[in-house]
Amino acid sequence: MKRTSILIAGVSLAVLLAGCSDSSDSGGSSNGTSSKAAPTSAAEQSLDLSKFGTLPPVPAPAAATVDCTYPAGQPAAKDVTPPPTSGVSTEGTVPVDLQTSAGPIGLVLDRAEAPCTVNSFTSLAQQGYLDDTPCHRLTTELGLQVLQCGDPSGEGTGGPGYGFTTEYPETAFAPNDPALANPVVYPRGTVAMANSGTPGSNGSQFFLVYADSVLPPNYTVFGTISEEGLATVEKIAADGDDGSMSAGGGKPNTPVQIETAKVG
């Protein structure tokens, strides 16, 4: 079941989907043409973020290592082996360098936030799963400004053939806490996982937050973007999207291809 879009304080918050089929998400715009995002006024570009919560503190890891599970799911969009599941570190950071057709995007992944997610992402990068793959979705609307990547098919439905559960910030809340439905600010520079809203639907799709964005705390945060990387994403965003996706946004008007993903 997909998470429904949320309308709060006049801002439409589109769901960040991964592995869910939506026929309108893979087609062109309604008139068959592509157009840049319309310019907005200064007033329209202002959002009172104080109306929304902030991400909670990252819980201290209970141990230096954890065990992770990556059960098989729908067929992989590209051949890859699931990551190791035992003795996964909860300490330190991992640099990842994305070389894209639009410029470099440096990431720093934080194991303390999401050890199983970082373990999966680094495994995918080391196996070349992210090499020569598109960033298939851009959203430029106020309150949701992200670039989404990680699906080799480019359709927004592909994944690595396995799934795993959501980590921080969801793990900072008690199970079934009503606060999990309340949007919070995902700050500019955040790297987070896309999911379909069903348990265990994290896979390979991730999104890069290039301006403060507002979402429920159900999307795993697992790192940050370098300033150089943000400049690259902002350049892509400035050219807009084609508006082809019913969940919000569309394909970037400037096509973006991850050429290589290297773990430092």
Containing domain of residue 178, as a range? 1-18+94-264
According to the model, what pLDDT value does residue 47 have? 81
Domain membership of residue 26 (yes or no) is no
Specify the pairing of strand 53-54 against strand 145-149: unpaired
According to the model, what pLDDT value does residue 255 have? 96
CB 34 within 8 A of CB 28: yes
Q: Give 74-141 as a 3 state SS string.
A: CCCCCCCCCCCCCCEECCCEEEEEEEECCEEEEEEEECCCCHHHHHHHHHHHHCCCCCCEECCEEECC
Specify the pairing of strand 88-89 against strand 65-66: antiparallel
Domain membership of residue 112 (yes or no) is yes
Domain membership of residue 37 (yes or no) is no
According to the model, what pLDDT value does residue 247 have? 83
Spatial CB neighbours of 179, under 8 Å, sequence gap ≥ 6: 53, 173, 217
Tell me the whole-structure pTM to 2 decimals: 0.86
CA 62 from centroid of its chain's CA atoms: 26
Q: How many domains does the chain have?
A: 1
* H-only helix segments in the chain: 115-126, 227-238
Domain membership of residue 150 (yes or no) is yes
Domain membership of residue 217 (yes or no) is yes
The residue with tokens 């991400």 is: 55
Structure token digits, residue 202:
């994290």
- In 129-203, the DSSP E strands lie at 133-134, 137-139, 145-149, 184-186, 190-193
CATH of the domain at 127: 2.40.100.10
Q: Please write the tens of the pLDDT for every residue from 52-104.
A: 999 999 999 999 999 999 999 999 999 999 999 999 999 999 999 999 999 99
Q: Which range is least confidently modeled, 22-31, 118-127, 201-210, 243-252?
A: 22-31
Domain membership of residue 241 (yes or no) is yes
